[in-house]
């Protein structure tokens, strides 16, 4: 019988790590405490990794036969394996460090999706290793000689853990790869509606669950590999029909999947830290996805079922270029805002692309110096992942007290002199409230059109938002379009304010 035991001090260390992770999530719930939350997360992960390394030092056994007396078995540290483990950690740490230093904030959503894919792939690889060598993982007691080869019988409970862990991990991997391709622009943001997709998805999901149940009674290789293959396929099919407007929810949802995959593999590895961490990530990601679905007036079940209920966009996203619109200059914008009592700034992905957050804060400071009240309005799904705009504004040291969520500031637009929109397209589109044929219909948007004047920075009138639809706001009588690179336009406005 091969048992894996965990010492009491290791269990205590894992518990401390779990508490640190809880404190990390608590800290990340607010921009003001996010740095403290990150520190707790780093401390917790360091404790968990060091504890695992110390408690799983690889040993080799040598049988020493003396001339007289019984045989002596000597245990020694397997330094070759230790060096391999440390080398792998070093390579991973170096890649992570270089990536963190070089990655632009505009590419952060893609990076998050890529990390989720790695978590899913790691879960699959651990599951495969455990299936091929169950005794090394302590999930098998009985070895049966089978045609000259030993056959290890995996515990029935461990088979459930393996099946679920591999399935969720494979879904996370392939789904995250598709999300990465969409976020990175390698695939279009519009939904790809496959014929009969719902029937196919339901059939595949039923087949996976049925095979996992069968795997409990029969651990044949074909069952295990079929579960793995079908899970990779359904992960692809679930994300392909989800459009760009729902992509922030997808990122959050995949985060949840990666957590549950890690938790399932934690049982296989007998590692309580993985179980705790995976459960925290899985549950928090699911809650965040639900909150974001409510904020977008989307059905949570519809989104996680792969865009269930979505319809193809027949509008083609064409821009009505023949409609009249007004164009303004940096000087016009500077004059209007300097004469205003209140200006509400609405940042979006265009600000992130132009990396205009720092000069935007400078503009806000200049307006404040002239006695103008300046506030920032954040939509829950502005950008490409949850909290994207909050992170960018925090990076530019915008005061947290000046930043407001949609539900807290929407009522103020009607009493606002100027709404300054910088690259936020879909989340300001009034069509979400009036056009039932629009793919964003029903999504709560920022009521910027109610402001006395709307200044909208956009590169050109030819582009559309990530959802692929034109913005009705461009053609309103109170809207002035500022066509230029966001950073360059704000820099010109700052100069005009001097």
Task: Give the phi and the psi of residue 74 in degrees, each rounded to 5.
Answer: -105, 130
Between helix 388-395 and helix 108-132 the angle, nearest 10°, is 120
Q: Is 269 helix (H, G, I), strand (E, B) or coil?
A: coil
Give the chain's count of helices (H) and strands (E). Answer: 17, 10
* Strand ranges, E, within 136-257: 140-146, 149-154
CA–CA dist 181, 64 (Å, integer): 57
Tell me whether residue 141 is one of the annotated catalytic residues. Answer: no
* DSSP-derived 3-state class of residue 416: coil
What stretches of 85-201 adopt beta strand conformation (E)?
Answer: 140-146, 149-154
**HSE-up (13 A, CA, CB side) for residue 452:** 11
Q: Find out whether 333 and 493 touch, Cβ atoms under 8 Å.
A: yes
Distance CA 40, CA 447 (A): 38
Q: How far is CA 20 from CA 42, 243, 273, 276, 479, in A?
A: 9, 36, 11, 11, 48
Neighbouring C-beta atoms of residue 129, cutoff 10 Å:
14
Cβ proximity of 483 and 330 under 8 Å: no
Comparing CA positions, the residue from 233, 181, 183, 178 lying closest to residue 207 is: 233
- Please tell me which residue in 67, 141, 408, 426 is annotated as part of the active site: 426
10 Å Cβ neighbour count for 442? Answer: 12
24/19 Cα distance (integer angstroms) = 9
Q: Which residues are catalytic?
A: 426
């Amino acid at each position: 019988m091969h048992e894996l035991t965990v010492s009491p001090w290791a269990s205590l260390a894992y518990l401390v790590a779990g508490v640190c992770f809880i404190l990390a999530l608590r800290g990340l719930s607010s921009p003001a405490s996010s740095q403290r939350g990150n520190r707790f997360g780093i401390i917790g992960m360091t404790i968990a990794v060091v504890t695992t390394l110390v408690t799983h030092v690889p040993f080799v056994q040598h049988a020493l036969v003396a001339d007289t007396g019984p045989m002596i078995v000597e245990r020694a540290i397997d330094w070759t394996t230790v060096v391999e483990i440390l080398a792998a950690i070093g390579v991973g740490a170096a890649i992570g460090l270089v990536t963190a230093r070089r990655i632009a904030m505009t590419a952060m959503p893609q990076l998050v999706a890529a990390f989720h894919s790695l978590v899913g792939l790691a879960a699959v690889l651990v599951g495969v290793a455990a299936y091929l060598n169950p005794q090394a993982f302590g999930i098998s007691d009985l070895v049966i000689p089978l045609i000259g080869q030993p056959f290890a019988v995996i515990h029935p409970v461990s088979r459930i853990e393996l099946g679920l862990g591999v399935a969720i991990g494979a879904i996370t991997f392939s789904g995250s790869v598709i999300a990465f391709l969409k976020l990175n622009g390698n695939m279009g943001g519009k939904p790809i509606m496959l014929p009969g997709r719902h029937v196919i998805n339901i059939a595949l999901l039923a087949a996976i669950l049925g095979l996992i149940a069968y795997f409990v009674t029969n651990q044949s290789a074909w069952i295990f590999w079929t579960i793995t293959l079908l899970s990779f396929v359904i992960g692809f099919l679930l994300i392909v029909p989800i459009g760009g407007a729902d992509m922030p929810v997808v990122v959050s949802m995949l985060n949840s999947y990666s957590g549950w995959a890690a938790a399932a593999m934690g049982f296989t590895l007998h590692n309580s830290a993985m179980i705790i961490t995976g459960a925290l990530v899985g549950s928090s990601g699911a809650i965040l996805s639900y909150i974001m679905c409510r904020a977008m007036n989307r059905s949570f079940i519809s989104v996680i079922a792969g865009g269930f209920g979505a319809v193809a966009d027949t509008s083609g996203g064409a821009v009505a270029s023949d409609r009249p619109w007004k164009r303004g200059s940096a000087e016009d914008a500077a004059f209007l805002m300097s004469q205003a009592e209140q200006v509400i700034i609405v940042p979006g992905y265009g600000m992130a692309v132009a990396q205009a957050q720092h000069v935007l804060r400078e503009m806000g400071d200049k307006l404040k110096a002239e006695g103008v009240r300046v506030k920032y309005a954040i939509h829950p799904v502005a950008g490409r992942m949850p909290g994207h705009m909050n992170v960018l504004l925090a990076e530019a040291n915008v005061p947290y007290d000046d930043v407001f969520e949609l539900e807290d500031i929407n009522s103020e637009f009607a009493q606002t002199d100027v709404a300054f929109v910088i690259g936020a397209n879909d989340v300001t589109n009034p069509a979400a409230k009036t056009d039932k044929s629009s793919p964003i219909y029903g999504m709560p948007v920022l009521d910027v059109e109610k402001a006395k004047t709307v200044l909208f920075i956009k590169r050109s009138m030819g582009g559309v938002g990530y959802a692929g639809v034109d913005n009705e706001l461009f053609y309103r009588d109170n809207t002035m379009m500022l066509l230029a690179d966001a950073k360059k336009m704000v820099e010109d406005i700052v100069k005009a304010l001097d």
